[in-house]
């Protein structure tokens, strides 16, 4: 079993997801419930006796992903730690706009004329 850790970007993603769902549903309870479900899924990934997720070497060496609803949890294993790197909305046009491992940790500039989903209001990064 791996210990679970969230990157600053992943924590920000979860906060943005909460805000988006709260705004759309008009319910903090619904938003909290969904973010808790996402966190439970991350715990399940870390608790699994095998390495979980789909390897994503095309995005970054060692990166893996696992879908949850309209979101994809991006994570990596580091010894006995599963680090959640990002949690992105797959309905966002930016979910395919991923920065390379060589780019700085700064976020990618927003796309012009983006969609209406929560993720299109923020900038996508994997790293």
> Does pLDDT of 62 surpass 60?
yes
Q: Is residue 127 part of a domain?
A: no
Our CA angle for 122, 64, 2, nearest 5°, is: 110
pLDDT for residue 126:
53
pLDDT tens profile 9-27 = 999 999 999 999 999 999 9
Q: Is residue 40 part of a domain?
A: yes
Instruction: Give the residue numbers spanning the domain of 12.
Output: 3-96
Q: Is residue 112 part of a domain?
A: no
pLDDT tens profile 50-61 = 999 999 999 999
Q: Which long-range contacts (CB under 8 A, 24 or more apart) does 74-82 make?
A: 74/126, 75/42, 75/45, 77/2, 77/51, 80/2, 80/3, 81/2, 81/3, 81/4, 81/5, 82/2, 82/3, 82/4, 82/5, 82/42, 82/45, 82/46
Q: Is residue 125 part of a domain?
A: no
pLDDT for residue 102:
32
CATH number of the domain where residue 65 is located: 3.30.2310.20
pLDDT for residue 122:
37
> Does pLDDT of 121 surpass 90?
no
Q: Is residue 25 part of a domain?
A: yes
> Position of tokens 């920065």?
99
Pairing between strand 3-6 and 71-78? unpaired
- 3-class DSSP assignment, residue 5: strand
The number of distinct structural domains making up the chain is: 1
Q: Is residue 37 part of a domain?
A: yes
């Amino acid at each position: 079993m791996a210990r679970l850790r969230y990157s600053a970007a992943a924590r920000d993603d979860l906060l943005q997801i909460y805000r988006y769902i709260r705004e759309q549903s008009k319910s903090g309870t619904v938003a909290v419930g969904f973010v808790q479900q996402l966190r439970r899924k991350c715990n399940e990934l870390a608790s699994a006796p095998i390495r979980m997720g789909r390897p994503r070497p095309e995005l970054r060496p060692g990166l893996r992903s696992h879908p949850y609803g309209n979101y994809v949890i991006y994570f990596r294993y580091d010894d006995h730690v599963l680090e959640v790197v990002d949690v992105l909305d797959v309905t966002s046009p930016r979910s395919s706009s991923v920065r390379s491992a060589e780019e700085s940790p700064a976020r990618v500039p927003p796309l012009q004329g983006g969609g209406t989903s929560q993720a299109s209001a923020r900038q996508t990064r994997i790293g």
